Amino acid sequence: MAAVGGAQPNWSSRFAFLMASVGFAVGLGNIWRFPYVTGENGGAAFVLVYLACAFGIGVPILMAELMVGRRGQGSPPTAMANVAEESGRTRHWKWVGGMGLLAAFVIEIIYSGIVGWVLWYLFKAITTGFAGMDAGSAVSEFEGMLANTGGMLFWTLLGLVITGLIIYFGVQDGIERAVRIMMPLLFCLLLGLAIYNVFAGGFGRAIEWLFTPDFSKISGGTVLIAVSQAFFSIGVAMGGMMTFGSYLPRSISISHSVLIIVVADTLVALLAGLVIFPAVFHHGLDPAAGPGLIFQTLPVAFAQMPGGHIFSVLFFLMLSVAGITSMVGLIETVTHWVEEKYGIVRHRSAMAVVGSIGILSALSLMSYNIFQDVAVGGMNFNALLEYLYEKILLPLGGLLIAVCTGWVIRKEHTRDEFTTLNSAMYELWHFLIRFIVPPAVLIIFVMGVLG
């Protein structure tokens, strides 16, 4: 059966779709967040729990999102409404798609600021290579950046302008052209830096840290963090994959594509660990240094290692590429909805979305200094936004997407979208999305809300 809805732009090839989707999934969640979360939660034991969550929960929901996007042929709210209506259900399911849009917008407010930090540190790496930096000066440098709202805003807006220009030119002329260059560059940089670490020292320790499990470290809290990381890393329930799915021709297999996306995403996360942890261990630094691992701990290692100037430039260039490609997916989701909902041409809708995120990102940046102690319910602006998307929007959105595709959409409609799956694999997906994913994500949602 043909997809419901109006005409949509299409990806020109499977390669372009995969590069865009992997680019959206592979971001700071893999390279910045994954290493420090792993470090804080016991290394290899956390990696195993993360992999189980990514493949057992993330993959079925990601398949569902792409399926809804392609069959519904519209922005997330429109796509959800269309597939529900096709199965004789209410169009009020559009609100689930709306949650994805809101999640993308809220995440981008904070995420754009962190990408700004990365760009600023790329500039520092190019100009100084962090020469002579020790632990004290690294902390002072990072704290000085957080106190400098104007400087952070400049680099944040630069990242938004780069992303906005990619979105401005559309799916094929903008996003495809960018990811065809940026994603191979990202993979080459990541692989090259990991190979460098084989000879630079600390590699064996990093392998042991990442791949020798200590099951005593696993708790209910570990599972909650692992699922949150899987959602954040793969890009589940953020509307981005549903939007990319709406551009997906029926000739491209959803199931095969999802497998490639999640494997690539996981490999990048593990490779990032092999880039970061060898330097950390070799120079006697703390692998559980938290969010400061990238910005406070690694510059000290760069200052001490042979070729550290070049290594630091390549590392922050890699991080910048990963950040920008994920921003593209988040902003494209909202831009496409504005374009569709209000009939505004892409050029103007892209500028409106980027401009609004830029304004709100200023509030996010000031939450690190001027507004740090301005709190609502004990949370400042950033903490409130993080609670909203991490504890509410992502798990609740993933839960409702699973319920919709497992219980609301007719089985023959989902089967029609997964033609490349054999009967056994399709039944496995349908069983997971109906009986395993909803209760698992519901437990995670309740645990997150209750703290």
In tens, the pLDDT along 182-219 reads: 999 999 999 999 999 898 888 998 888 888 887 787 88
Task: Give the pLDDT score at 388.
Answer: 95
Q: Write out the two tokens for 400.
A: 């409702």
Question: 125-134, 280-289, 413-422: which has the minimum mean pLDDT?
Answer: 280-289
User: DSSP of 99-138, one letter per residue?
Assistant: HHHHHHHHHHHHHHHHHHHHHHHHHHHHHHTTTT--HHHH
pLDDT number for residue 209: 81
pLDDT score of 42 more than 80: no
Read off the DSSP letter of residue 161: H
- The Cα-based distances of 180 to 12, 172, 347 in angstroms read 12, 11, 22
Domain range annotation of the chain: 14-450
The reported pLDDT for the residue numbered 227 is 83
What confidence tens digit (pLDDT) does each residue in 69-98 have? 999 999 999 999 999 999 999 999 999 999
Are 32 and 326 in contact, with CB atoms under 8 Å apart?
Answer: no
Q: What is the mean pLDDT of the chain?
A: 92
- C-beta separation of 387 from 429 below 8 A: no
Q: How far is CA 167 from the centre of its chain?
A: 17
Buried b / exposed e along 375-391 (16+ C-beta atoms within 10 A): eeeeebbbeebebbbbb
In the predicted model, what is the mean pLDDT of residues 331-351?
95
Least confidently predicted of 158-172, 290-304, 355-369, 414-428: 290-304
Sign of the Cα pseudo-torsion (107, 113, 114, 118, in order): positive
Confidence (pLDDT) at 1: 39
Q: What average pLDDT does range 282-309 have in this prediction?
A: 85
Mean per-residue pLDDT, 446-450: 86
pLDDT at residue 305 tops 80: yes
Q: Above 70 in pLDDT, residue 111?
A: yes
pLDDT top residue among 219 and 312: 312
- pLDDT value at residue 7: 60
pLDDT digits 0-9 by tens, 268-295:
988 988 998 898 888 888 777 766 788 9
CATH number of 14-450: 1.20.1740
Task: Provide the pLDDT for residue 39.
Answer: 73
Residue 258 pLDDT exceeds 50: yes
CB-CB contact of 24 with 240 (8 Å): yes
Check pLDDT > 50 for residue 104.
Answer: yes
Is residue 5's pLDDT more than 70? no
Pick from 378, 399, 382: nearest CA to 445: 399
Token code pair at residue 334: 């909202």
Give me the pLDDT at residue 266, please: 87
| Global confidence as pTM | 0.94
Euclidean distance between the first and final Cα of the chain, in Å? 45
